[in-house]
């Protein structure tokens, strides 16, 4: 009896030990899976952030070799710095931001997509708010976005030059003109003339056509796997909005300035109050142009890349196809957004030009 009791006791203890070990293994497996899931989410987030940024090299894609080494496929671009003198070198010295570049006895490092002066070890110093304190030279480098700005400019020059030559031979559009003519006529008849007026619209047509096709084409290129996000760069949208502001300010007539600084038809005391508000509105208008284009394009890229990243998180036959289908549908919507943002920027620019040259004969 005692032996049977001991055997039962030992068996029960062995069962408890085995259950505890299984539970521990399950907890370790769960913790490992959570860690891997967390690291995957961090990797996807970092990839999205990297995709949205400009770069000093044109990277097509990268992969990890059998030896565990990360291999980049692409080509370098020229780096142009002013640091006590002009310094020009290839971005291959940075090796996609992984190494320190030595140029003329000075060392430079790419940190958070900016070039800082450093030492041979690539040391970055920080202030109390964890901001880099290293010297940052003036940067005039030809980045990936700059390359595509040049390419889109050349493409537009080629298209419109070829179209103009065809019109010299025949009044009927041929080739590329069959696609471009309806769009040009739409911008003229439905955007420029109604908002600016038949008397003044001609002097703004070249800019309106240029900004529409430029924004449209670079937005379409941003949807390709090349990873080009020109209007996703707030510096680009700032310059476009600044050009609209300068043209509006320079070409404005006396009536425009009179309605800002001394608005007719209202009491004199109210004119003094309204003047700074109207002057502030002059700055807010181009600022809204800049933010609207930048925010819409950036948000579209972030949502699209996040949905694609869900396929790698779900890893199931239900979640992955759903993510792919949603990403495909959103890509089609982004094609509409690419043209819509170009239209909105052109339309608002025409409205600002129209207010600048409007003649108030009623006063």
pLDDT per residue over 121-135, tens digit each?
888 888 888 888 888
Q: Which residue has the higher pLDDT, 248 or 315?
A: 248
pLDDT of residue 127: 86
Distance CA(103)–CA(91), nearest Å, equals 11
Report the phi/psi class of residue 193: left, alpha or beta, with left for phi > 0 and alpha for psi in -120 to 50.
Answer: alpha
pLDDT per residue over 310-320, tens digit each?
777 777 777 67
pLDDT per residue over 330-359, tens digit each?
888 888 999 999 999 999 999 999 988 887
The structure tokens 């493409």 sit at 155
- The model's confidence at residue 92, banded by pLDDT at 50, 70 and 90, is confident
Average pLDDT, the chain: 80
Query: What distances in angstroms separate CA 90 from CA 53, 70, 142, 359, one per listed residue?
Result: 19, 20, 10, 54
pLDDT per residue over 135-174, tens digit each?
889 989 998 889 999 999 999 999 898 888 888 887 777 7
What's the whole-model pTM score?
A: 0.80
Nearest C-alpha neighbor of 343 from the set 203, 194, 191: 191
Nearest C-alpha neighbor of 237 from the set 282, 289, 275, 277: 289
| Res 264 pLDDT > 80 | no
Residues 6+ positions from 332 with CB-CB distance below 8 Å: none
pLDDT per residue over 203-231, tens digit each?
999 999 999 999 999 999 888 877 678 88
Distance CA(276)–CA(270), nearest Å, equals 11
Nearest C-alpha neighbor of 262 from the set 270, 271, 253: 271
Residues 6+ positions from 229 with CB-CB distance below 8 Å: 51, 52, 54, 145, 222, 297, 298, 301
């Amino acid at each position: 009896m005692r032996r049977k009791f001991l055997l039962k006791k030992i068996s029960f203890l062995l069962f408890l030990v085995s259950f505890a070990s299984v539970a521990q293994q399950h907890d370790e497996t769960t913790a490992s899976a959570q860690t891997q899931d967390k690291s995957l989410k961090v990797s996807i987030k970092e990839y999205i952030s990297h995709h949205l940024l400009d770069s000093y090299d044109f990277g097509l894609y990268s992969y990890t070799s059998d030896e565990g080494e990360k291999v980049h496929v692409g080509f370098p671009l020229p780096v142009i710095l002013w640091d006590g003198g002009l310094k020009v070198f290839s971005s291959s010295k940075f090796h996609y931001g992984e190494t320190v570049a030595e140029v003329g006895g000075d060392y430079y490092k790419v940190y958070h997509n900016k070039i800082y002066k450093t030492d041979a070890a690539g040391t970055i110093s920080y202030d109390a708010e964890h901001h880099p304190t290293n010297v940052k030279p003036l940067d005039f480098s030809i980045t990936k976005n700059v390359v595509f700005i040049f390419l889109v400019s050349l493409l537009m020059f080629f298209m419109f030059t070829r179209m103009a030559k065809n019109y010299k031979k025949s009044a009927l559009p041929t080739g590329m003109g069959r696609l471009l003519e309806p769009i040009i006529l739409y911008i003229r008849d439905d955007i420029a003339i109604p908002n600016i007026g038949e008397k003044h619209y001609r002097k703004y047509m070249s800019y309106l056509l240029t900004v529409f096709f430029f924004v449209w084409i670079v937005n379409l290129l941003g949807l390709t796997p090349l990873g080009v996000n020109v209007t996703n760069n707030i510096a680009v949208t700032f310059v476009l909005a600044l050009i609209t502001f300068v043209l509006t300010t320079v070409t404005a007539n006396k009536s425009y300035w009179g309605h800002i600084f001394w608005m007719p038809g209202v009491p004199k005391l109210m004119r003094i109050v309204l003047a700074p508000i109207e002057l502030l509105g002059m700055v807010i208008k181009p600022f809204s142009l800049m933010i609207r284009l930048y925010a819409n394009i950036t948000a579209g890229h972030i949502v699209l890349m996040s949905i694609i990243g869900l396929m790698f998180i779900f890893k199931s036959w239900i979640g992955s196809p759903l993510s792919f289908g949603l990403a495909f549908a959103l890509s089609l919507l982004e094609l509409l957004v690419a043209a819509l943002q170009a239209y909105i920027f052109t339309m608002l620019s025409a409205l600002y030009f129209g207010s600048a040259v409007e003649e108030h004969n009623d006063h």
